[in-house]
Structure 1
């Protein structure tokens, strides 16, 4: 339908905003995500100062395969444990750390 937004995958990272910004920089270098990746702010929790940061990827088979490969690679480069949260276009959510990265492949349907 005209005006309808494409299906998207939403990604957030626990911890400091710098972790999400680091993932943003990492994902921007992926050719399959060019033109499909955006970032935005989320309202912060009640009583908290500042806001969260969210990455949004237009869902397509190549983009999902890239996410399933790229996010675990980024996680493996972290010097401290980071948790990534992914929400799929159909509303499924998964949270995982570097040692649980297979969960991302499972929720995205990538084998």
Structure 2
């Protein structure tokens, strides 16, 4: 399952780079890449503001949820928002100002496990 995490608020590109570096440091995650969106009308180029993570079987989901919880709780992340897009186009939005660190992992697990379950049913 591929998960795409868009970063908004704060210093978007810097936060996306920070998150990419953070997730690449997790031994349980593979296929972490910084990607971007297509340029809009009047824009010269795309913006690298999305982190793509390929999750395989065997605990990748737990590692991602735990790692995002820890990254999100770092100082100076209060203006950051994450939009996590699952397979099928369903998104979950998280706002550092509104989600307590203790709730974040449970929200992520619920959202991502629903996606993993839907993928398994389609196979």
Q: TM-score band, normalised by the shorter chain?
A: 0.7 to 0.9
1:24-63 maps to which residues of 2 (within 5 A)? 24-34=20-30, 36-48=31-43, 50-53=45-48, 54-61=50-57, 62-63=59-60
Residue segments in structure 2 that go unaligned for 5+ positions in a row: 115-123
Question: Secondary structure of the residue that 2:5 maps to in structure 1?
Answer: strand
Report the CA distance between 1:50 and its aligned residue.
4.3
User: Which digits, 9 at most, give the CA deviation of each residue in 1:12-49, with x for residues without a partner?
Assistant: 10032000001011101000113x21222212443345
Question: Secondary structure of the residue that 1:38 maps to in structure 2?
Answer: strand
1:70 aligns with 67
Contact 1:75 1:97 in 2 (8 A): no
Report the CA distance between 1:69 and its aligned residue.
0.7
1:90 aligns with 88
Q: 2: CA distance between counterparts of 1:60 and 1:91?
A: 19
**Two-structure CA RMSD over aligned residues (Å):** 2.1
Question: TM-score w.r.t. structure 2 length?
Answer: 0.71
Pair 1:13 & 2:7 matched = yes
Over 3 Å counting, the alpha-carbon distance change for 1:76 and 1:63 in structure 2 is same
Question: TM-score w.r.t. structure 1 length?
Answer: 0.78
